[in-house]
Every structure is written in structure tokens, then in C-alpha cells.
Amino acid sequence: MYVDTHSKAEMMVESVSDWIKQQVEEAGCKGTVTGLSGGIDSAVVAALSKRVFPEDTLGVIMPCYSEPRDEEDALLFAEHHNINVKNLDLSETYDSMVGKLDDTESTSKMALANIKPRLRMTVLYYYAQTYKYLVLGTSNKSELILGYFTKYGDGAADLLPIATFTKMEVYALARQLEIPERLIKRPPTAGIISGQTDEDEMGFTYDELEKYFKGEQISKDVKNKIERLERINAHKRSMPPIYTPKESLN
């Protein structure tokens, strides 16, 4: 039977939302909490949850020396989808923590930038435990395979509703969920280093990554870059290795 992309997206939206509901209920919880960045991944995840938990889908906006547009777009989405939000600026908390850390010659820009998602993770788990919610992760297939997230930062979550969808598939879900076009059109950014975009940092485009997933022709250089990230970040997709002694202690 022929099913067009629109009705496929409609069915997928329903199926993922139902899955979120089932997982939350099996955990004995009442709803979900998602960090809202003004980006498309978090908007899609929160909108999926809103369909099944109309009163218990919480979005938390956590600027941390972020571009003003991030907060504007997060609010625009939350108002458009009528999602409960909390707004918590983490810039001072970040300064306070960084002020107490040793600043050595080998401290990298990324070691500092990665503190931001880890502070956000702490807030999300605070609200999860407070309201009996589960934390929704926003990683998509593209990010998960490349390890393009901060370990135990935005990578920390209880459920991963969109981790089997490529970035392009996330856009299809976003259109189905009627996410404001302003969010759909903006270039994906991790939002942890000013002016950075995903594609600039990764060194290839989401289009090229999509072709790689489909086994289509891409340059050798891009293929190498993708496979390198996949390899060096494999540790982010599994539990830490557990030491196992050859004999027991007693």
C-alpha cells in the first residue's frame, strides 16, 4: 500500500508519543522534563510528550551565556505549543564554578564549554525527581552515532525518543508537529561556544551525513571524518567498562 511521507510522519508522531507515555507509566512516573534550547530537537521531543502528557510536559530554558535568540525561540515554541516552562539563567552558576577550578595551560575551550550541558543536566534531574517526571534526551541518530553531544551533559537522559531518526527525519517530524518555521529554519548549533554551528564544527553537512547513512556517494575525506568521530566517541554509547577480576576475592 502506498503511504505518503506526510501520513508516515503522522503515524510516526503517534507511535513515538505513545511510546513515551508507556515508558513513563512503566517507570511509575507522571510526565516528562526537557531542556528547551530554541533548537529543533528539543522542540520536537517536548511536542511529542505534550501530545500524551498535556499537563505534565515541562520545558526548562537554561541560558548560560547563550545567544538571546535561543531563549526567544524556546519561548516562542513553548507559547505556540502551550508548554509549561521554567526559565533559569545558569551564567552566574557557571562563573561561580569556573572560578573555583584550576585554570591550567592545558584547560581547553571545550572542557569549559562542556560544563554548560552538565549544569543543565543537574537542573533537569532536580525537576524530574521533584515532580516524578522522566528526563527526555534530545539526541537524534546523527548525533548519537557521531557522539556529537557532551557525555553526561545533554547525553544524560532517561528516554531517547528521537535517537533512531536522522536530522532530516527530525525535520519531517517537526513539520508534522507544527513547530514554528523559525526554529525549523535555523542552523543547528550546540549553543555552548558562541557563533558555532554543528556543520562547521563537524566539518561536513547533515546532507552529507544523510548520504553516508543511505550508502550514497560522498567524498573520501567526509567519509573518513564521519568514521573517525564514530570511532573515537564509541565510548559515549555504552556503560563504562567494568573491571572483572580473574578470581573472586573470597
Ligand X SMILES: Nc1ncnc2c1ncn2[C@@H]1O[C@H](COP(=O)(O)OP(=O)(O)OC[C@H]2O[C@@H]([n+]3cccc(C(=O)O)c3)[C@H](O)[C@@H]2O)[C@@H](O)[C@H]1O
Q: Contact positions toward ligand ATP, by CB under 6 A?
A: 34-37, 39-42, 60-63, 66, 70, 117, 120, 138, 143, 154, 188-191
37 annotated as belonging to a binding site for a ligand: yes
Q: If we measure between CA atoms, which residue out of 23, 1, 50 comes closest to residue 178? A: 50
Q: Least distance (Å) from ligand X to the CB of residue 140?
A: 9
Nearer to ligand X, 130 or 197 (CB): 197
To the nearest 10 degrees (0 to 180), the angle between helices 167-176 and 206-214 is: 110
- Judged by CB under 5 A, the stretch of 22-30, 36-44, 47-55, 143-151 that binds Mg ion is 36-44
Q: Return the residue of 42, 49, 66, 114 that touches ligand X, per CB under 6 A.
A: 114
Q: Which three cell numbers stand for residue 39?
A: 533548537
138 annotated as belonging to a binding site for a ligand: yes
* 54-166-121-21 Cα dihedral, nearest 10 degrees: 30
- Give the chain's end-to-end CA distance (angstroms, integer): 63
Alpha carbon distance 4, 127 (integer Å): 39
- Give φ, ψ of 90 to 5 degrees: -100, 10
Q: Does 154 bind ligand X (CB under 6 A)?
A: yes
Q: Is 76 exposed, middle or buried (0-12, 13-18, 19+ CB in 10 A)?
A: middle
Q: Least distance (Å) from ligand ATP to the CB of residue 2?
A: 31
Q: Does 39 bind Mg ion (CB under 5 A)?
A: yes
Q: Least distance (Å) from Mg ion to the CB of residue 38?
A: 7
Q: Binding site for deamido-NAD(+), residues?
A: 118, 151, 158, 235-236
The annotation places the binding site for Mg(2+) at 41, 143
Annotated binding site for ATP: 35-42, 138, 167, 189
